[in-house]
Structure 1
Amino acid sequence: MSQPAPPNSAEHPWPVRAVSTRVAEYIDKLGRVWVEGELAQLTMRPTVAFITLRDPAADMSLSVVCPRDVVLNVEVPLAEGTRVVMFGKPNFHTGRGSFSLRVTEIRTVGIGELLARIERLRRLLAAEGLFDQRLKRPIPFLPTTVGLITGRASAAERDVLSVAKNRWPAVRFAIRHTAVQGPSTVPQVVASLQSLDADPEVDVIVIARGGGSAEDLLPFSDETLCREIAACTTPVVTAIGHEPDNPLCDLVADLRAATPTDAAKRIVPDAAAEQAFVTDQRRRSARALRNWVRREQETIAHWRSRPVLAEPLAALTARADEVHRAIAAARRDVTRHVAAESDHIGHLTARLTTLGPAATLARGYAVVQAVSGSGGTVLRSVHDAPAGTRLRVRVADGAVIARSEGSDEAH
């Protein structure tokens, strides 16, 4: 019975052939696969064709080998940049330690199929909310630095720079030159977006490209680029192609400009127009202020012209005579009433005087009182003063003391 092989370790390493064989066996288990990509390089040989297939959304490529007839039998002539779908079997060459895809069928992806895929992606991104207007970031009114992603020495770059500087000469740009079509567009634009988004001095980012065919604009409908735009914290403005062009990145961006020139107009204000606006507003404000002051002056003049304010004491003066007359009338009435009451009191006093005991005494009458220890009582009968009773006789001018000798009847 054979002993099991020792585990792989530094003391028991595998030879190259063993590693290559195991890798080849593992890859062989993958079976046949369909692969989509862009042709980056095509080299024809008498019997075979060597192809480099590139991923349009990443900096990755794959070596492909196929019979020459497979390439020649494709309905559409293949060229660099053509979008294709291939069917083949992964193969690891143990002798060279290289990997390739041995293809038996190649199909080109037509523009209709590409547009259908873009439409499916559009519905997916819309369902995730990447097009929601509530997520759009506002564009700053006066950005200090504008990040510009565009092709090197392109018409789009010239349009954005010239129009923006004519409108606002103080604007500054941070420019990133990238490919704007082909397989390297997406990774370069994504890298530039990340770089500008991380720059704190960049207030807004513009992605600008001139017009082109639908195939040329396909990278700007790539899912990776769309998601990167949505993830940016800096507002992003897209100016891809012309007015009819509508790649998916336009729907994700915070603002879509019809052309690069329109983008420059959207991101910076026109200095001359703003100055004219400020001048007009100042003029209108001054006119409105003068009109307001004039209206207030007229209101004050109107109130001042009213009698109550023009002569505030006139009402009191007019009423003063009435007050004086009322006071005089009140005094006359009081004096007359007092005089009448005084006369009435005088009459009553005279009557009292006439009817009072003093007047009676003055006519010769006297009041006789029997004096006792506790006081005196007025005599009303001779029987009240028997002989020897001490008497007090009150006359008009005083009183005298007398003693009773009895009544005349007794004598």
Structure 2
Amino acid sequence: MTEQDQPADKPGKSPENPYPVRSVSMMVKDWIDRLGTVWVEGQIAQMTVRPNSSTAWITLRDPSADMSLQITCPRDLVHNAPVKLAEGTRVVMHGRPSFFVGRGSFSLRVNQIRAVGIGELLARIDRLRRLLDAEGLFDPRLKRPIPFLPGTIGLITGRASHAESDVVSVATARWPAVRFAIRNPVVQGPNTVPQVVQALRELDADPEVDVIVVARGGGSFEDLLPFSDETLCREIGRCTTPVVTAIGHEPDNPLCDLVADVRAATPTDAAKRIVPDAAAEQAMVDDCRRRSAQALRNWVRREHHHLTQLRSRPVLARPLAAIDARADEVHRARAAARRDVTRMISAESDRIGHMSARLTTLGPAATLARGYAVVQAVASDGTTTVLRTVADAPAGSRLRIRVSDGAVGAVSEGEDEAH
């Protein structure tokens, strides 16, 4: 049933029939009284104890959220508390929620106050450590690398603290051009976690910030307790900018150190880790240049020695020696070839001379020179045939008689009977 569906004559359901203030206050008080007693834990953010009043007013703050609760208790309960109550003290209180109808205010009326012991705090921190470890917030593979030379360093530390002075002075001395974006939240007490978380979010959203440093000097276990808070640890894990923590001194190890990308022992150590030393880098550059020049000279010297060795080899020292040696062989081969050719020509010339003499001796010219003649019968068509028998030259046949110095014509008279 909606408010419009309520009967018009029912009190508080229409502007014509509203509740009076006293009725609403009494109903709220009645609802709150039904809650009964509760135990609550938090940090004391403010405490007021007036000398002329029997009541003490305390503001109890949640260390992990920006929330607080008003507490009232007898003055003697504050004085007789198991520990000295002050701002930042972590306590557990037992009381009943109460609504004061006269002022319309809510508070928790406390009848017991107990201090949270260090042993219990250590046990809680250990349970939180195991939880965060199981979720992977401590995984080394998720650690972001620190830039070699950050342009702007986001620094979260107490105002005018030694930690701020150490980080700024050491970083500036090592690299004078470094810039800082400084946030100064409170680093002790109930407001530490929300203010540090807010500073982290601001610096992480700044695109010019390359690395964030959370620094605080040494202190007691209770002073450093906010840096083991779950909200702060998870906020560091969500940052996209690398985070360096330098909380306390070397033995101190809050949980945010395990979540951070780099854990520094002290604020001075944090400055040394994130900013290179200009003098050391210059010395390294000079050393690299010297070593590079020496390596280059050694390489040139080695290559020069290698070339000298190559030039000293016979094939390069006297490159024509092999050709000269082959030239002698060529000359000898040419002389031998010429000698052989001459000898062969001489032998063939002698053979040809002998054959020519034999041809001359055996040829018809030599026979004709000795007084012989060659008789040929001349046919009517002018062809000639050698006369071999008498029958080849009957009477009246034309004859051609060849002698050594020419030929004469004749006519056959027939066979010579006298012969």
TM superposition score category, shorter chain reference: 0.7 to 0.9
Query: How far apart, CA to CA, are the structure 2 residues paired with 1:29 and 1:350?
Result: 165
Match 1:119 to one of 118, 126, 136: 126
One-letter amino acid of the structure 2 residue matched with residue 282 of structure 1:
R
Aligned to 1:268: 275
Query: How far apart, CA to CA, are the structure 1 residues paired with 2:380 and 2:249?
Result: 148
Aligned to 1:137: 144
The range that moved more, 100-109 or 67-76, is: 67-76
Query: How far apart, CA to CA, are the structure 2 residues paired with 1:386 and 1:95?
Result: 194
Q: Where do residues 159-308 of structure 1 align in structure 2 (5 Å cutoff)? A: 159-308=166-315
CA distance 1:103–1:400, shift in 2 (3 Å):
farther
Query: How far apart, CA to CA, are the structure 1 residues paired with 2:320 and 2:86?
Result: 106
One-letter amino acid of the structure 2 residue matched with residue 79 of structure 1:
A
| C-alpha contact (below 8 Å) 2:167/2:270 kept by paired residues | yes
Query: How far apart, CA to CA, are the structure 2 residues paired with 1:38 and 1:215?
Result: 11
Compute the displacement of 1:59 (Å).
Answer: 1.6
| C-alpha contact (below 8 Å) 1:366/1:396 kept by paired residues | no
1:316 matched to 2:323? The reply is: yes
Q: SS at 2:338's partner residue?
A: helix
Q: SS at 1:59's partner residue?
A: coil
Query: How far apart, CA to CA, are the structure 2 residues paired with 1:9 and 1:398?
Result: 176
Q: Where do residues 47-66 of structure 1 align in structure 2 (5 Å cutoff)? A: 48-66=55-73
Compute the displacement of 1:360 (Å).
Answer: 7.6
Query: How far apart, CA to CA, are the structure 1 residues paired with 2:45 and 2:36?
Result: 25
Compute the displacement of 1:259 (Å).
Answer: 0.5
Aligned to 1:5: 7
Compute the displacement of 1:29 (Å).
Answer: 6.2
Query: How far apart, CA to CA, are the structure 2 residues paired with 1:274 and 1:104?
Result: 64
Q: SS at 1:280's partner residue?
A: helix
Match 1:15 to one of 12, 19, 29: 19
Provide the identity percentage: 73
Query: How far apart, CA to CA, are the structure 1 residues paired with 2:377 and 2:16?
Result: 170
Q: Tell me the TM-score normalised to structure 1 length.
A: 0.81
One-letter amino acid of the structure 2 residue matched with residue 176 of structure 1:
R
Match 1:327 to one of 313, 334, 348: 334
The range that moved more, 175-184 or 81-90, is: 81-90
**Unpaired runs of 5+ in structure 1?**
none
| C-alpha contact (below 8 Å) 1:64/1:102 kept by paired residues | yes
Compute the displacement of 1:219 (Å).
Answer: 0.8
| C-alpha contact (below 8 Å) 2:188/2:224 kept by paired residues | yes
Compute the displacement of 1:109 (Å).
Answer: 1.6
Q: Where do residues 18-33 of structure 1 align in structure 2 (5 Å cutoff)? A: 20=25, 32-33=37-38
CA distance 1:329–1:102, shift in 2 (3 Å):
same
CA distance 1:206–1:339, shift in 2 (3 Å):
same
Query: How far apart, CA to CA, are the structure 1 residues paired with 2:380 and 2:134?
Result: 136
One-letter amino acid of the structure 1 residue matched with residue 230 of structure 2:
E
RMSD: 3.9
Compute the displacement of 1:235 (Å).
Answer: 1.4
Q: SS at 1:202's partner residue?
A: coil
Q: SS at 1:234's partner residue?
A: coil
CA distance 1:217–1:399, shift in 2 (3 Å):
farther
One-letter amino acid of the structure 1 residue matched with residue 46 of structure 2:
Q
Compute the displacement of 1:54 (Å).
Answer: 0.3
Q: Tell me the TM-score normalised to structure 2 length.
A: 0.80
Aligned to 1:107: 114
Compute the displacement of 1:32 (Å).
Answer: 4.8
CA distance 1:349–1:48, shift in 2 (3 Å):
farther
1:40 matched to 2:45? The reply is: yes
Q: Deviations over 1:257-309 (max 9, x none)?
A: 11111111111111222222222222222222222222222222222222322
**Unpaired runs of 5+ in structure 2?**
none
Compute the displacement of 1:104 (Å).
Answer: 4.8
